[in-house]
Structure 1
């Protein structure tokens, strides 16, 4: 090797894992709501659907973290999650491709057997992704050890994989949908299956090392979970998940609505536009900010990074509410690095810093539970209801005001708590 350096093969495989895993998500996750929309399901029906499939992770994430910490089985759960995800996508490929010219009444939707097949396929997809993503981050921070601040340098490869896969899947879906009165999402699902197959091969090569719990484990956990700074962090994480869901699940709904209302000439290319929005998010948003996340987190602090994210959520939602051209709206995706990559990296790194020895999985489970088990389901339910009743444009105006309000509340609370702990520490040192 040049310069006498040695490649850490486990971290290399970890980077490859992120690349293929996130690449597998790209043709499916952002399209969830538009797949449902094509079937005639309203925004509220899809909000309930996404909420229902995500709520179990409130229990699943911490339980998996506890079980894998105790029984030293992180890699097994990791691989089982990937297999479950692949089975769900195979089901999506073969489920009848129902379409509806207009929205179907919600009460009718929930009475059809086809809806429930669709729901449970999404449920098992999310369950598999929950199992593997929790173990993925836990294994990654364990491999990094004292260099956990370099987490962004690993996960950036996930952004690269997501960006490439989303663009390719958007193009192939438009290509295979030519001449049809609906979009054929199956080519994208095939891309997901291929990425999962490569990911399973790569993940199997990662050597997982787990540390035994310390004797003071229970006391350490109680101290962490009752720390007011941690409580503020959890609240910020829930809020982060709440607002992020509008980007992850309803952005494509926004692109389709403004295209149908104001620029129908773009309809034949809508999946390409949607896929390209993800590519911009990843390559011009996430990639640079994942690389510099370590520097920014050190300079600003973990919680200040969250506050910065909420400010830019407000700006981002505000821009969506005034832009009516889907091509122009693509420029807003440049903000994705500040509204996702930075706060997500800060959350994983801060959780790893707080975790007692041997409880890394449990703590990452609590972080994931707050963001993906509470925040995102709440966002789906509330977002779906508001979008159905007010429309996507007015919804984004409300989300913008809400994000700015949360930023102010979290920033002030964090400042008060930090000053309180600083005063307590000064008293202890002088006594």
Structure 2
């Protein structure tokens, strides 16, 4: 409290205490992701799990997003318990990371047959620790976005200015954890990810502390709540929006999980001299994504969304994905490939901000959590699992480079479909207010 008062004196204006703690939450929560989530696929690869096995694994990890998000959104809207679920999700993530720290390490020279992998106890311990980590992340991320847009009120277009602190935390912790993992792995036959897990646990602990200080107020559920949601779900604008978020999640998967895999493969094939520093390079890729990609676009997202329109942002995103994937498919040097990561602002920060803001605008009163849960389910519960399975299958059979060529073509095709559907929406909703919201 004293810190906030001092900041008010320095700035000469009143600082919103809850939004300050919201920014701190984003910083520590996304910072905790950095040493774990992007490395899941390569951690499994080091254990001898094939791309297909990890694709199936990562698909299974998205079950909480498919089931929990819409259910949790509805429950917290009805029983006004957002903060409780917020904190439970963070504690669950902390326990899962703690389990990963003490999970026995494993490394193999070649991939283990998939049928053998799925019959080992160590695999299932690994899977369920990641499963509960993802479950906690789902609970926390849904509640934090819902709480954040509620705190912003009519200024929901400023969501990106809050969420940018997640990118800053992610970017800082990425490079720190990458360097630390490389340093602790010197002289070992495999990478030691445990120092990264320790860093993640420390971040989650700080996150629990600052989140407990956020004041959460909810509007009571109205009698017309169910009717309003039915109207929203039959609105063609919403249907097109959800199709766009599914597609966004599908392509985002290849960046979230398989860029790290890609950097490792092209290093092994073309530049083995970089192998002792591969975790630093991979960590740096995440840092560039955040500081040169996400951070600038979170700051300007409000302006771009107002000028371009929520749905046109998604069309722009799919064009950017096509270019990004095409560049991955022709670059052989992992250091040169780092330059491609600046596309992350257009391919993640901008559409993520547009999605959260548009969902808030479309949501009926007191149904913000339900609507955010629905959007999160389509992106992370449908789009990402589809991307994991399809990506894992294609990479195993064709290799990572050819896979990115296919993803590039696919993204352009999706852009055409979504843009066409958006034009249809504009014709259906001709009033000025609706055109602004759907353009």
Which of the five TM-score ranges fits, normalised by the shorter chain? over 0.9
Equivalent of 2:351, from 327, 343, 351?
Answer: 343
Partner of 2:98: 90
Match 1:306 to one of 292, 314, 317: 314
> Per-residue CA shift, 1:228-262, capped at 9, x if unaligned?
01000000000000000000011100000000000
**For the Cα contact (< 8 Å) 2:64–2:134, is it kept in 1?**
no
Give yes or no for the alignment of 1:268 onto 2:273.
Answer: no
Aligned to 1:252: 260
SS at match of 2:108: coil
2:190 alignment counterpart: 182
Q: Look up the match of 1:26.
A: 34
- Name the structure 2 match of 1:124: 132
Report the 3-state secondary structure (helix = DSSP H, G, I; strand = E; otherwise coil) of the residue aligned with 2:190.
coil
SS at match of 1:422: coil
Query: Structure 1: how far apart are the matches of 2:204 and 2:160?
Result: 22
Name the residue aligned to 1:383: 391
- State whether residues 64 and 138 of structure 2, in contact with CA within 8 Å, keep that contact through their aligned partners in structure 1: no
| Aligned match of 2:381 | 373
Deviation at 1:2, TM superposition (A): 5.3
Which residue matches 1:227?
235
Residue matched to 2:301:
293
For 2:192 and 2:107, the matched residues in 1 are separated by 11
Deviations 1:168-195 (A, max 9, x none): 0000000000001100000000000100
CA distance, structure 1, for counterparts of residue 316 and residue 11 of structure 2 = 39
Shift of 1:270: 0.2
Q: TM-score, normalised by structure 1?
A: 0.97
Q: Distance in 2 between matches of 1:136 and 1:76?
A: 11
Are 1:133 and 2:141 matched, yes or no? yes
Cα deviation, residue 220, structure 1: 1.2
Residue 418 (structure 1) aligned with residue 426 (structure 2): yes
1:420 Cα shift?
1.8
1:205 aligned partner? 213
Gapped regions of structure 2 (runs ≥ 5): 1-8, 435-439
Cα distance per residue 1:83-131 (max 9 Å; x no partner)? 1101111111111101111111101100111101111011000000000
Out of 181, 185, 203, the position equivalent to 1:173 is: 181
* Cα deviation digits, residues 390-412 of structure 1 (max 9, x gap): 00000000000000000000001
Q: Which runs of 5+ in 1 are unaligned?
A: 427-431
| Residue correspondence of structure 1 range 35-54 to structure 2 within 5 A | 35-54=43-62
Q: CA RMSD in A?
A: 1.2
1:56 aligns with 2:57: no
How many pairs are equivalent?
426
TM-score normalised to structure 2 length: 0.96
Q: CA deviation at 1:421?
A: 2.0
